[in-house]
Amino acid sequence: MKYNNIIYEAKENIGFLTIDRPTKLNALNGETIDEIRDVLAKLRGDDQVRAIIVTGTGDKAFVAGADITEFEDLGLKDGFDFSRKGQAMNRDLEDVGKPSIAAVNGLALGGGLELALSCTFRILSENAKLGLPELGLGAIPGYGGTQRLARIIGKSRALWTMLTGDMIDAQDALQMGLANMVVTQGKLMTTSIEIAKKIIQKAPLAVRMAMMAVHHGTETDLESGLIFEASLANVLLGTQDMREGIAAFLEKRKPNFSGK
């Protein structure tokens, strides 16, 4: 697929996915969503890429939201399908099996915040502004925002954000656990790359299993989550990576993980 709205490249085991619609503040339209999903489908089977950094072109916006011109005339069925399409994109990102970092370089509103919420981590520039302003348009967040934001910062704070429409600045996002780090704009990408490189030094299968244990185990009761955790830990006992990790520890050297 030829990409008109995104830029994708891979360097040193890191995939860089950039939303590239600067004249629209990187707003998500249907074509952009299709392109993102195409990249994520390819990444699922690409063992060379072990972490993903998602960002937007320029210094004004990560993603300023969904492209309003595409849904202003939607009917009931089309509106449902429109939301499900955005939800599928974010689910693809969440379940791609590789840790992802949202490098939020400006506005992350509506669908943009929902995209960032689907990433494993969020690193914000100091000028970042986050929010879910949909209720002011007579709508609600439809790409997973009502569900993921509440799970990350709690129901009360999530409802406050949606019902007031107030934007969240970078420091407040950090304080409430919505952001993992806040850095200057000039250090946003270098810091994101540093964190990605730290992650990819770990065993790929262990990284994936840890993400599965947290994502799925916390959606059930504690005992079921613990059984799931023990099952995943048991699976890792049979991997080459675990044997390599133990051997490297005993030999006082850096491990050379193969993802097997």
CATH of the domain at 237: 1.10.12
Q: Is 225 exposed, middle or buried (0-12, 13-18, 19+ CB in 10 A)?
A: middle
Percent of the chain at pLDDT exceeding 90: 81
Phi–psi pair at 120, nearest 5 degrees: -65, -40
The catalytic position among 9, 134, 229, 244 is: 134
- Are 54 and 73 contained in the same domain? yes
> What residue numbers bound the domain in which 225 lies?
204-250
Cα separation, 71 vs 188, in Å, equals 32
Task: State the helix-helix crossing angle for 76-94 and 30-44, rounded to 10 degrees.
Answer: 30
Catalytic: 114? yes
Work out the average pLDDT over 142-162. Answer: 96
Per the structure, how many domains does the chain have? 2
56-65, 142-151, 243-252: segment of lowest average pLDDT: 243-252
Band of residue 35 on the pLDDT scale cut at 50, 70, 90? very high
Residue 153 shares a structural domain with residue 39: yes
pLDDT in tens, 52-110: 999 999 999 999 987 777 666 667 767 788 889 999 999 999 999 999 999 999 999 99
Tokens of 61: 């916006």
Indicate whether 49 belongs to any domain. yes
244 labelled catalytic: no
Look up the pTM and report it.
0.93
Q: Which of 64-92 are b and which e, b meaning 16 or more Cβ less than 10 Å from the residue's Cβ? A: bbbbeeebeeeeeeeeeebbebbbebbbb
Pair (219, 243) in one structural domain:
yes
CATH code, domain with 184:
3.90.226.10
Same domain, yes or no: 139 and 74 = yes
Per the residue annotation, which of 31, 70, 114, 229 is the catalytic one? 114
Measured in whole angstroms, the distance separating CA 13 from the mean position of its chain's CA atoms is 17
Give the percent of the chain with pLDDT over 70.
97
d(CA 124, CA 55): 10
With respect to residue 260, please indicate whether it lies within any of the assigned structural domains.
no
